[in-house]
Amino acid sequence: MRPLFTQDEIEARIVELAEKLNAIYREEPLVAVCVLKGAVLFYADLIRLINNPNIILDFVRLSSYRDSMDPGAIDFTRDLDTDIAGKHVLVVEDVVDSGHTMAFLFETLRARNPKSLRLATLVDKKSHREAEVQVDFACFELDQGFIVGYGLDYAERYRALPDICVVEQASQDGSE
Ligand code: IMP
Ligand code: MG
């Protein structure tokens, strides 16, 4: 496990992002949507820096059917409580990889007629894209490697690590 983006680097990128978001939304009604579970720490840190008294917090959880032949076969395991029609919506995600998950979510949310719909992701794996997704804000970009920590998991482990770490291959002799 090798730290790739440290707590301090993450915090600095989130402060920059929050400044942009504050300039865009000001005090207009805004629904900030956390994509569970991976984005939870990023979301918690980000929303504390948003100076908008009209922010509403809401949560979705999505599951992809990894066994299915259709990479776009995704569904909600938890949907929003909030009616987003006519409101600004900011989706907060951990990693955009192939893009299938966010393509599904955006198609679904767009049909509910929000005033605007934007995507902020902690990490953008741009070069892995299969489905078209517009990433409005990305704190970090990554070309290769599997990362854990700061909300991100490997089989539900490592979410509570404070840094974002790369999972390295076990070495030849089997030690980590
Ligand atoms: P997509 O539909 O391929 O874009 O899948 C994105 C989802 O895969 C993210 O929400 C993450 O939960 C997960 N994911 C992709 N890459 C990583 C990684 O490096 N570490 C942890 N989760 C990842
Ligand atoms: Mg995720």
pLDDT tens per residue, range 24-61: 999 999 999 999 999 999 999 999 999 999 999 999 99
Counting every residue written for the chain, the total comes to 176
Average pLDDT, the chain: 94
Asked if residue 164 has its Cβ within 6 Å of ligand 1, the reply is no
pLDDT over 90 percentage in the chain: 89
Q: What is the mean pLDDT of residues 100-113?
A: 97
Check residue 75 and give its pLDDT.
92
Check residue 91 and give its pLDDT.
99
Q: For residues 131 and 72, what is the distance between their CA atoms, to the nearest angstrom?
A: 9
Q: Look up 97 and say whether it is catalytic.
A: yes
Asked if residue 140 has its Cβ within 6 Å of ligand 1, the reply is no
Ligand 1: nearest atom to the Cα of 74: 2
174 — pLDDT class (breaks 50, 70, 90)? very low
pTM of the predicted protein model: 0.94
Cβ density class 132-142: b for 16+ within 10 Å, e for less: ebebebbbbeb
How far is the centre of ligand 2, averaged over its atoms, from the C-alpha of 82 (Å)?
A: 20
Ion ligand 2 — residues with CB < 5 Å: 38, 94
